[in-house]
Amino acid sequence: MIQGKVTGRVWSSKHIETMPGGALLQVTIEGGGTLIAFDPLGCAIGETVLITQGSVAAAFFTKIKAPVDALIIGSIDET
Amino acid sequence: MIQGKVTGRVWSSKHIETMPGGALLQVTIEGGGTLIAFDPLGCAIGETVLITQGSVAAAFFTKIKAPVDALIIGSIDET
Amino acid sequence: MIQGKVTGRVWSSKHIETMPGGALLQVTIEGGGTLIAFDPLGCAIGETVLITQGSVAAAFFTKIKAPVDALIIGSIDET
Amino acid sequence: MIQGKVTGRVWSSKHIETMPGGALLQVTIEGGGTLIAFDPLGCAIGETVLITQGSVAAAFFTKIKAPVDALIIGSIDET
Amino acid sequence: MIQGKVTGRVWSSKHIETMPGGALLQVTIEGGGTLIAFDPLGCAIGETVLITQGSVAAAFFTKIKAPVDALIIGSIDET
């Protein structure tokens, strides 16, 4: 998994039918780079999150075949 | 997913049989790099799009086994 | 596989339900970059480990469908 | 998919049994980097090609389980 | 696939149960970076090899579910 910080949210009104409803968050990855990840947890901007990618991310969706290849699976506890 | 801007279109007359008909768009990724993504949405040059990759992209095609590992799944709303 | 050194541990109290119980270790990859990998072996900070990624990592979990795309599969013997 | 230019060909006399017969082309990727891709189309050196990767590439082979994670799926038309 | 040169071997006495017996070689990739790949061919240090990655690498193992995401599939002939 990779760790990153939520830096924004994007909206996509024009999308393919299988796109799941829910938040698409912009996450800046530790070390550089930006991803757009699906957020099933209700994370806020500034939160540090854990992201899983690829077919492992898509497998989270069991009722639909979602085109999601980046999924927030947890929020990192501040220490 | 990754976010990028559509910068062109490519054509491939000589291709394998399972290549789906439709637009192949050149997308410049935020942060660097270029991908060629299949576009089921009719996006235009200059549009900012959301791309899913790998087997998750190929799973969009349910009737054929398409050799597509990069798929435009939405257009990002301008804010 | 990639090789890296365990540099820390993270905790995630807020996570999706399918997250397996167990240690999430921060691993600095040889050559640069950092991953968070699931550790089924009880590795310690400073240990050099071998990591497998993607759906191959998730396939380790046979009873649950774990959202794990980075798994420590071994500790490299010091020579 | 990624776009690249064919820059050479490699041969591998010593290989695993499931390696399919056919050309293995060296392709320089636009933006940097080099891949070795399986070519079912008979491409020539200097040709600009479209490559799909990962399990999507392997799925092209339906009769054998080929260890191919990079496949030329088309040649880009010159414009 | 990617091409690289075998630069060493690693041993892992402490590993998960599904790790297959056999050589784990350190391979320096053309262009930079290092991988640890499973070697079913008995390659030597200094040999130039072809590596397949991800679930395609794991699919080589048909009797066990091996946690291998990098596999040497051939040795490149010297020309």
Measure the CA–CA gap between C49 and E63, rounded to whole angstroms. Answer: 25
Structure confidence by residue, pLDDT tens digits, E15-72: 999 999 999 999 999 888 999 999 999 999 999 999 999 999 999 999 989 999 999 9
pLDDT band at C6 (very low <50, low <70, confident <90, very high): very high
ipTM score of complex: 0.96
For chain B, list residues with pLDDT below 50.
none
pLDDT band at D71 (very low <50, low <70, confident <90, very high): very high
pTM exceeds cut of 0.90: yes
CA atoms in the 13 A half-sphere facing the CB of A57 = 29
Pairing of β E14-15 and β E70-75: unpaired
Q: Is B78 in CB contact (< 8 Å) with chain D?
A: no
State whether B35 and D74 contact (CB < 8 Å).
no
Evaluate whether B56 touches A57 at the Cβ level (below 8 Å).
yes
Measure the CA–CA gap between E23 and D79, rounded to whole angstroms. Answer: 48
CA-nearest residue of chain E to C33? E33
Report residue C4 as tokens.
């890296």
Mean pLDDT of chain B: 96
Chain D residues within an 8 Å CB radius of E1: 24, 35-37, 68-70
Chain D residues within an 8 Å CB radius of B37: 1
The per-residue pLDDT for D31 is: 83
Name subunits touching C (3+ CB pairs < 8 A): A, E
Burial pattern A15-44, b for ≥16 Cβ within 10 A else e, equals bbeebbeebbbbbebbeeebbbbbbbbebe
Pairing of β D2-10 and β E23-29: unpaired
Structure confidence by residue, pLDDT tens digits, D26-69: 999 988 899 999 999 999 999 999 999 999 999 999 998 999 99
Q: Which of C2, C31, C74 sits opposite E19 (nearest CB)?
A: C74
pLDDT band at A32 (very low <50, low <70, confident <90, very high): confident
Evaluate whether C52 touches E67 at the Cβ level (below 8 Å).
yes
Note the helical H segments in chain C: 55-58
A 6-35 → B contacts, CB under 8 A: 10-16, 18-19, 24, 26, 32-35
For chain B, domains (ranges, CATH) are: 2-75 (2.40.50.220)
